[in-house]
Structure 1
Amino acid sequence: LFYFKNKQTSKPCPDLKSSAEVTQRITFHKKEMDEKDSKEYTRSEQEINENIQHLFNKLHLEGKMRAADVLQLTAHSLKSHKSCPVEELIQTFIQKLLMMDYKARNIKANQLIHTKDTKDSHEFQADADIFREMGGPGDADNTSDPVHPMDVQMAVFHCADGFLKQLMVTKLSQCQYALPLLVPDPFTQQTEFPLLTFRQISKSWKMRNKNNEIISQTQPIYKAQTPMVFFFRFGSVSSSKSQLMNSLINERHNTFFHRNCPGSSRTRVLMDGVVEIAWFCPSGKDTDKFTDCVAFCNLHGDAGDHEKQLQILTEMASVNVVLLLGLQKNDRSMMKLDELYKGSKPLICTFIEDVSSLSKTRNGKYKIGLKCRNQSDVSEELRRAINDCLSESYSTFRLEDVSKHSDIRVDEEDDDDCRRGREAAQQMMCLLEKKDLTEIKDSFLPHQGKLWHQWSQKNKELHRPRAYETEEDISRKQKEMTKIREQQYESDISEFIKLFIKEVNSHNECEKMFFLKWLRILLDEYWSTRISKELQAATFGVEHIMREIGQIYESCSSVKKNKKDLQFPFSSLPSFAAEMMISGFPLELMDGDAAHVPVIWISAVLDQLVQKLGDQRVFVLSVLGTQSSGKSTMLNAMFGLQFAVSAGRCTRGAFMQLVRVSDEMKTQMNFDFILVVDTEGLRSLELAGKSTRDHDNELATFVVGLANLTLINIFGESPSEMQDILQIVVQAFLRMKKVRLNPSCVFVHQNVSDVTAGEKNMEGRRRLQKTLDEMTKLAAEEEDYDAGCFSDVILFDVQNDVKYFAQLWEGSPPMAPPNPKYCENIQELKGIIILSVRNLKSPLSRVSTRRLPEI
């Protein structure tokens, strides 16, 4: 039994009595005996609740859904589903959405084909009677409406906790889908504005200025000020409003779900009154339908039944567009329409039963007929009218301003844990406002500055002794390192870090996660509005804060005593980092600035994981590839993660994140977790000369040695680009051979033009094998090791260990959705990885006590 939780009290929602606010009126005609008159019936709140309850029961939804529940490896997630039993619709939708597969809304429930009883199957076709067998009405018992795809989406949305909602909306945005903006509670009809779900979404677009120069912009979408076009309808209309909107935004993609989409059904339970929003982002080309970023809002259902949503959006819109059958003076909806027509804002009326083309009735007021007209012509006229209106309208829309309306509930204000977490994060941000941008890192993060870099360099020299070095030289370096640690220990802990440590130790688990989420959001917003490319080195996020805490821990461990200004025992710091990892946050594994692994800190964190989780069996999966080759995107799609994705190299180093294996899979795999390691790009343009090669070799050697399986990500098919990365990769595997570690690898070729071209792929595999063998000979000479081909270094099958991926986008960004073929490739690769897991597994303690120090 599904209990819908009341969001304010977290208690089961009691039976609700009839209320004028939540009663929905529907009319239908019913024949009774000799009576021919039609009667109007009111569908009571109880009937509405029963339909919603029936839907939730049908979908097997029970209680709240947490992000942790869906971000785990399950048997279901390893299969590709085009249809499924109705009780699996929820997990199938979530699985595909996490992979950024926009076909997530096209999944159909399995349905049986009903056949009428016939005579012997061997009867002659000549005896068939089309009038008898096909002419009669269908059997009502054999017809039932399937679950509407948008009911599946909104059922997940209503049952999700705050973290899962945010993840879900972020993935919907990546699929270029419209996002829920105003959502009525299905039982109380209280309208909610889920502002928190938009906080991690940014949009990029290009536009031309007055000098015809292309300007690129990237903004958090809740802050962006753009024009907004609001679509709504009065009454029941035969034309699809959502389909008309799609033709304006992206005619090749169903941004808004409509009645003609695959899987659509006649009835829907949860969409009436929902307002969705999507953005058109121009590319700076002459073919752009709109020259600026434009928001489009869509009110589902009859606007006359949802006056609150109608009032809010018509007030905030730059242009209002209404669909209706015709004008009827006695209709109560016409009063609102008359008010809009007399107002100053542009209004476009589209009449279903009118055949006329676009006409302008007065300044800012337009009329378009839809009857018997070509949709592309209507779309072009509507686009022209909207552009004319926008050129004369100076009003803009900002998503964040929706929260100013007092009669709606805002999710981040309504949740006490969320509100307290935000207040704590804002308190920390106040400290940043008082500092100069270039001084923030030095003053707030002193432990990871010059002293840490000096210690890292000395440590590398210590572990790479030259032939002429004596024991005395080594002893001198050790003393220098000890002195550096003592100086690091003497550094004061900044007020910023003190406050951070205090906050993470004074909140409950949920408040703590909201605090971290808010701190990340506010830091991203702070730097995105203030920093230039020249100051990218000055940026810092939560990962830099955790790096500072790691260095505080290492310096205290070195001198074996607590800092005087540290209010908590330093030994408690790894415990918090372990809790972060268990909750799904990535943790920096390798400091990209110092190109060094803080082994003492990382080992302590992993030891805490062992204490909290037990000595779990862990499969380590890492990825290597050139800069901006899609490594993080691949891991995010494969496991539903949220590693930072950037076209530049803002964050450096390596990060690790735990992926839980479901209980059912543990029995099959004898396995508990996957430790996913994401890395910065090789061959960075920001490093030059010998330092580039040394840095990349260190990174590759580390992540290859740590992992059971490494994904070697190659972007495109250029032989020269492949040779660069392959030389680094082969040398790393050769070093593992020398220290008797036996990791394996899979090569992933991304952005291949035709992944189905068999002959082309055979040639590509042959060329890859040849290059690997050549690189092995070169690396063997450098490492003074006897190896003539790549197979002498690791077990490698060029037929099975090389995968070709389709390009990520289906079309040209910024409006292109992810390519479904790319998602299929991700699913296939995921299956290959799991096959590797069956033979390769290591206890968590082995990662902590053996492999990290060994590397």
Structure 2
Amino acid sequence: MSYHQGSEGGAIPKRRRKVGSPNKDLDETMDPDMKRGQSERAESISSGFLSMKTDRSMEYPLHFKEDSLQNKGPVEVPCDICSEVQAVKFCQTCSVSYCETHIRQHYTVPKLKRHTLVDVTGDLEEKLCQHVYSPLDVFCRTDQMLICSQCAETNHKGHDTILLETKKAGRQPKSFDGDQHTTLASDDVLPPPGDIQVLLLTSDSVSLSWGPPKGLKGPQKFRVTWGCDVEPCSLGVKNVHEVEISRLNPGKKYQFNVATEGEDGSQSRCVSASLSAVPPAPDQLTVDSVDTTSAAVSWNQPPGLDQTQHHYQISYRCPGTEPHITTTSSHSITLPDLQGSTQYSVSVCTMLEDGRQSQLVSTTLTTRSCLRELLSKTGLEDHYENKLTLSSVLEINANTTSDESLTTMQSLPGAFLKKLMMANVNARSVKCMTTDQEVSNYGVDNLDNDTDSSNVINPLDLITALFLCSDGFLQQEMVQKMSMCQFAVPLLLPNCDTKENTLMLWALRDIVKKFRLSSQTSTKAFVEERIVLSDIPMVSFVRLGEISVSKSHILNKLLSNPQQYHDTFIHHDMECGDITHRISDGLVEISWYLPCGNRNIDIFTKPVSVANLRGDIRSFEKQFSFLCQTSAAVYIFTDDLKAYLNLLKSKNTKAELFLVVNSQGKSFRVDTLKQMITNGSINDQNVIVKKKKKDAEFVQTLQSSVGDIIEKSQNWLTVENMTDVARHHGILVDEDSDECQSARKRADEITRNITDTVKFKDKQLPLQGQIWKELSQLEKDRCRLRKAGDQDIEPYKSSLNKKKEELRGKQHTFDMSDAMTSFILGMSRSGPERSYFLKWMRINLDNLSPKNLSGLRNRYKDLCQYSPERKDDIKDLDKQVSDCSLGLEHFLRELGQLYEAACSLPEDSPQRKQMEQLPGLCAQMLLDGFPIELVDGDASNIPLKWISAVLTQLHTLVDSNSNILVVSVLGVQSTGKSTLLNIMFGVQFAVSSGRCTRGAFMLLIKVNKELKEELKCDFIMVIDTEGLKSPELAQLDDSYEHDNELATLVIGLSDVTIINISMENSTEMKDILQIVVHTFLRMKEVGKKPVCHFVHQNVSDMSAHDNNMRERKKLLEQLNEMTQAAARMEKKENITKFTDVTEYDPDTSSCYIPGLWHGTPPMSPVNAGYSEAVYDLKENLIQDLIKCQSNDDMTHFLKWTQSLWESVKLEKLIFSVRNSLVADAYSS
């Protein structure tokens, strides 16, 4: 039965039918004052519940035992409000007993002062009317019930009534028929109801039930009263044993009493219950705003708590983590330090001062993508879909040589890439510097100045963002440069937006490492192999929960000698390393330890790869499982031993697991660890404890453990073989794209069956062999007529032309080979697939070179060193080395010969028309950033028709916007010329140790629009050359001529020429310098005055520039002397010094560069001084190019190349005597 407040404040019974309860009439009585009190209460609460002081579960009815809840005895009547203190007054108006404390309101509250109070006697013999609380002195025969005299005149007016005389007054009733409705006399004791049960609790109501009175038969009536610190209420019910009471005040303590009531108004002893109302729950929990790392929520205050002290408890969590709990007195809160792109459940409850809580109200929210916001702040948002490309990053722009401070987040990616492409080990230290931050950090006044975290970024986040916004080719170059700097590189790249991970196999594929095992020390042999194919064990390091040591810092020490520490992994103490990760948690980085063969230096005698998972493994189960299947061992850093035990129970792993704990950690308990070992939960051999504050001993223990794993583990997987494990765990593989797989298939078809490169070249690349070399020699003989002897010139030239036609005829007899057909098809594919194809070709061919060339090179080296007189053998070996070399340039060279051979056919020849597409393919290669061969180093010739066609097509492809400036490098072999250009411009000239540059290669770098007007060009062409006076060619008769031709051509084509000198003194370059001087002199004659820069490499002394002033002066004197000698030979007496023929300033045009590596390879990073010195050189070169007057386009460059090469072949510009000073002395 439910009772609700009526329109006039009364209690109106509401009928309802319940399962298991009869449908009986109920009545309720309440005096007018009580009605007014009830109507003055606050409106009911819409949600919440009541609590009772009990330890019983609310899932079951609560029973209130009569013995425990009511004072016994006829005299000691308890207070109906608190049930703890003896009542002293009974209010006839309220029908409630009050103790001294709770009766006070009846003396102070005006409306309560009107109530009738009587002393509590213990039996309360007076029987009162439940309507007006007057004595029951009238019996209504009509209704067969006792009533008061006032009711006889109102509710029972007109009924048959009789006035009764009570015993106390000595009166007897005038008539009484004693019918069945009065089964008990007024003096009989009524049995009390049974125990009270709570059937239902809500925030503003309670449903109670009680047992039937024992021994009472017939109709039953009960009186229910309740109250708190406000006016009590009362109601009567008939023939049911339950009631629902609503409109209770939340947060208040109520006393509920139920008594059996007789027909004459007499009541039994009460059964009582004391209930405490639980506060109502907050209303309308709303998510106001969501950011990447924070969210704001608010709610309404629940009604009824205006006068009650309360606050709110907020709990929020994401899956797999412990909840964060906080409190507030406000109606809103901002939740900080959230993870981006993550769903959180948020719950709020009301709490009272005594700790009582309401029901929880909950909602969910998903934080914004950290990735999207970070990309927006760093200016990379557009590149999430339209990826950054290598060519766009390598563009020459205003920032190329700018040293301005970084003041915005948008400038960070460009600054990082700029340094990284130059292999600068400080690349990860880029950060914004606002005006405020540039103020000194010294002094007490700066202690309160917190860094604005909105304008800084963790380097790991920056690196992750750039990898996500780069195409595969830029990723590959980034990884290559990071590896040179000994930075850890991504193995598994997370995307916090899509929750996907990618195995970065393609990005890693270009890394080639060299190392030497201790067993190879005596022979000086070494291993050189592509790192993704290296069969070496991997050990992984992860963390479980929050830990008290820096895992990454420990790993850096693990991989470093004390004398050569390097930050392989970014850690907390690095620049911006303490900034919270936003998108890089879940990243798995990898690095490698490679021995040098010296046991006094090597930490490990065998190579090992080291993986490092960022973030808690509980949040990155996929990555952790991958590492457990691919690693030889996984070292788990944790301070939570119980969590580690749970992890062991649930993990199926191939790797051996090691527990790494810190005894200095606050939560570490040695007894817990010992107990786990005793119970057999953990193998004590697989536990590593950091016992001291300092790391040295701890690191040594880790090194020893890893060393043991390397020696005994059999669970080795190459990175390439990890793909199946990755796919099994739902991890993407970057090489699985259609373009990459299709290109690989095409490249593999060409290279798969190459076992003998000599035979392959003879059969599949026949046009560039002996025929092409003979044609090249014929061209030079026709120009120089050295072998004409006494023959007439014209018949001699005619015979040479005839031989040339015969050789071309031989070329025509060869059909296009299967390999070249497939190669042309691969080059004809769309942009990305074409680039993948060329990369796969280069990778596959490079993988062949070390196998085929290592033995030949060792024999060649021995002959040159120990038997230099065996010139024929050396020459033969040189030919074998050349024949065994097979690279992408050989396929491109064959393209050139196919085209040149077709050009000798009639114009309407189908074969000629078929070849007309080839120059366009090669021109597109140049635009894509690939180098192509300008000078064939084996034939010492330029295929002019081919090069002309390629450059003409290039001019067309760029809509005639093809103005170029040319930078070239000359120097002795193995002085780091290619590396210098690669570091300076971020390009990819071949530098693998098995293959040296032969001839000359050209490569284009685009100039950004903003710098075009200043530089007056669209592209910068960079020309890399083979080493002059190389040992390979020094033993051959025409080596000196070859050097002269190459130097003359390159200097003649260049606007700026870099002369690379390996060491501080220039002795080794004397013979080279005379070539340079003579060439500059010849260029002066045709109106060109190139800029010259001398680069002195491997200069470790920082004061070398000052200390070598004397050397520079001596060098200039030598150059002047050579210039004068050359001028006399050419009868140019007005030229007396080197600066007459070239732009050269000894102070600004001489650059001293430290050695490339900092420390002992292979674990040494690139020397920061090397990168900085190369950057300074690049600045000077750009300034020199700005001053250049040349603004020729590709067609003018082409014409100049043709003219220059013809002059070289005619010996008009070359200097064939070995030393200009000797020649000058001879001629005089």
Same fold (TM over 0.5): yes
SS of the aligned residue for 1:295 comes to strand
- Shift of the alpha carbon at 1:142? 5.9
- Shift of the alpha carbon at 1:99? 0.5
Deviates more, 1:317-326 or 1:523-532: 523-532
- Shift of the alpha carbon at 1:564? 6.4
Q: Could you say which residue in structure 1 is the equivalent of 2:770?
A: 450
Which amino acid in the other structure matches residue 282 of structure 1? P
Q: Could you say which residue in structure 2 is the equivalent of 1:347?
A: 658
- Shift of the alpha carbon at 1:582? 0.7
Q: Is the 8 A contact 2:409 2:455 kept in 1?
A: no
1:179-194 to 2 correspondences below 5 Å? 179-194=489-504
Write out per-residue CA displacement over residues 338-385 of structure 1, whole angstroms, 9 at most, x where no aligned residue: 5779988363523353699x9998989333333542112221121122
1:659-674 to 2 correspondences below 5 Å? 659-674=1005-1020
Matched, 1:591 2:916: no
1:822-837 to 2 correspondences below 5 Å? 822-837=1170-1185
Deviates more, 1:490-499 or 1:197-206: 490-499
Task: Say if 1:34 and 1:66 are closer, same or farther in 2 by CA, change over 3 A.
Answer: closer
Which amino acid in the other structure matches residue 1153 of structure 2? F
Find 1:57's aligned residue among 376, 388, 393.
Answer: 376
Matched, 1:393 2:713: yes
1-side partners of 2:764 and 2:1037: how far apart? 32
Write out per-residue CA displacement over residues 80-123 of structure 1, whole angstroms, 9 at most, x where no aligned residue: 3664421100111111110101111101111343899xxxxxxx
TM-score normalised to structure 2 length: 0.62
Find 1:737's aligned residue among 1076, 1080, 1084.
Answer: 1084
Which amino acid in the other structure matches residue 523 of structure 1? L
Q: Report the count of equivalent residues.
A: 809
- Shift of the alpha carbon at 1:609? 0.9
1:190-589 to 2 correspondences below 5 Å? 190-209=500-519, 215-250=525-560, 252-286=565-599, 287-328=601-642, 331=643, 333-337=644-648, 345=656, 347-351=658-662, 353=665, 365-370=685-690, 372-405=692-725, 406-430=728-752, 432-433=753-754, 436-466=756-786, 470-505=793-828, 507-534=829-856, 536-537=881-882, 538-561=884-907, 569-589=914-934
Write out per-residue CA displacement over residues 677-711 of structure 1, whole angstroms, 9 at most, x where no aligned residue: 01111121111154221111111111111111111
**Higher-RCO chain (CA-CA 8 Å, sequence separation at least 6):** 1
SS of the aligned residue for 1:751 comes to coil
1-side partners of 2:1026 and 2:985: how far apart? 19
- Shift of the alpha carbon at 1:463? 1.9
Find 2:1055's aligned residue among 708, 720, 732.
Answer: 708
Task: Say if 1:344 and 1:200 are closer, same or farther in 2 by CA, change over 3 A.
Answer: closer
Q: Is the 8 A contact 2:934 2:942 kept in 1?
A: yes
Which amino acid in the other structure matches residue 658 of structure 2? L
Q: Could you say which residue in structure 2 is the equivalent of 1:103?
A: 426
SS of the aligned residue for 2:326 comes to coil
Task: Say if 1:758 and 1:619 are closer, same or farther in 2 by CA, change over 3 A.
Answer: closer
Find 1:761's aligned residue among 1098, 1108, 1113.
Answer: 1108
- Shift of the alpha carbon at 1:778? 4.8
2-side partners of 1:514 and 1:765: how far apart? 46
Q: Could you say which residue in structure 1 is the equivalent of 2:155?
A: none
SS of the aligned residue for 1:398 comes to coil
- Shift of the alpha carbon at 1:394? 3.1
Q: Is the 8 A contact 1:205 1:281 kept in 2?
A: yes
Q: Could you say which residue in structure 1 is the equivalent of 2:329?
A: 33
2-side partners of 1:668 and 1:781: how far apart? 39
Q: Is the 8 A contact 1:195 1:410 kept in 2?
A: no
SS of the aligned residue for 1:76 comes to coil
- Shift of the alpha carbon at 1:740? 4.1
Structure 1 stretches of 5 or more lacking a match?
A: 1-20, 117-127
- Shift of the alpha carbon at 1:389? 3.1
Q: Could you say which residue in structure 2 is the equivalent of 1:852?
A: 1202
- Shift of the alpha carbon at 1:653? 1.0
- Shift of the alpha carbon at 1:412? 4.0
Q: Is the 8 A contact 2:628 2:654 kept in 1?
A: no
Q: Is the 8 A contact 1:28 1:40 kept in 2?
A: no
1-side partners of 2:1177 and 2:899: how far apart? 39
1:795-806 to 2 correspondences below 5 Å? 795-806=1143-1154
Q: Is the 8 A contact 1:350 1:369 kept in 2?
A: yes
2-side partners of 1:697 and 1:22: how far apart? 71
Which amino acid in the other structure matches residue 31 of structure 1? T
Aligned Cα root-mean-square deviation (Å): 3.1
2-side partners of 1:248 and 1:397: how far apart? 22
Q: Is the 8 A contact 1:25 1:41 kept in 2?
A: no
SS of the aligned residue for 1:532 comes to helix
Task: Say if 1:317 and 1:47 are closer, same or farther in 2 by CA, change over 3 A.
Answer: same
Write out per-residue CA displacement over residues 172-222 of structure 1, whole angstroms, 9 at most, x where no aligned residue: 111111110012222121221121111111111011229976541011001
Which amino acid in the other structure matches residue 760 of structure 1? N
Matched, 1:149 2:494: no
SS of the aligned residue for 1:745 comes to strand
Q: Could you say which residue in structure 2 is the equivalent of 1:682?
A: 1028
Which amino acid in the other structure matches residue 790 of structure 1? F
Write out per-residue CA displacement over residues 710-736 of structure 1, whole angstroms, 9 at most, x where no aligned residue: 111111124421323223322332333
Greater C-alpha radius of gyration: 2
Which amino acid in the other structure matches residue 698 of structure 1? E
Q: Could you say which residue in structure 2 is the equivalent of 1:92?
A: 415
Which amino acid in the other structure matches residue 592 of structure 1? G
Counting aligned pairs with the same residue, the percent is: 34
Which amino acid in the other structure matches residue 1019 of structure 2? F
- Shift of the alpha carbon at 1:268? 1.2
Q: Is the 8 A contact 1:29 1:40 kept in 2?
A: no
- Shift of the alpha carbon at 1:656? 0.4
Task: Say if 1:213 and 1:140 are closer, same or farther in 2 by CA, change over 3 A.
Answer: closer
- Shift of the alpha carbon at 1:646? 3.1
Q: Is the 8 A contact 2:632 2:655 kept in 1?
A: no
Q: Is the 8 A contact 1:73 1:660 kept in 2?
A: yes
Which amino acid in the other structure matches residue 372 of structure 2? Q
- Shift of the alpha carbon at 1:819? 1.3
TM-score normalised to structure 1 length: 0.88
Find 1:843's aligned residue among 1166, 1170, 1193.
Answer: 1193
Q: Is the 8 A contact 1:99 1:640 kept in 2?
A: yes
2-side partners of 1:718 and 1:322: how far apart? 54
Which amino acid in the other structure matches residue 465 of structure 1? L
1-side partners of 2:1073 and 2:523: how far apart? 40
- Shift of the alpha carbon at 1:541? 1.7
1-side partners of 2:520 and 2:903: how far apart? 60
- Shift of the alpha carbon at 1:843? 1.6
Which amino acid in the other structure matches residue 664 of structure 1? E
Q: Is the 8 A contact 1:201 1:221 kept in 2?
A: yes
Q: Is the 8 A contact 1:229 1:320 kept in 2?
A: yes
Q: Is the 8 A contact 1:341 1:347 kept in 2?
A: no
Task: Say if 1:364 and 1:489 are closer, same or farther in 2 by CA, change over 3 A.
Answer: farther
Q: Is the 8 A contact 2:521 2:598 kept in 1?
A: no
1-side partners of 2:451 and 2:626: how far apart? 43
Q: Is the 8 A contact 1:755 1:805 kept in 2?
A: no
Q: Is the 8 A contact 2:586 2:623 kept in 1?
A: yes
Which amino acid in the other structure matches residue 515 of structure 1? F
2-side partners of 1:211 and 1:808: how far apart? 23
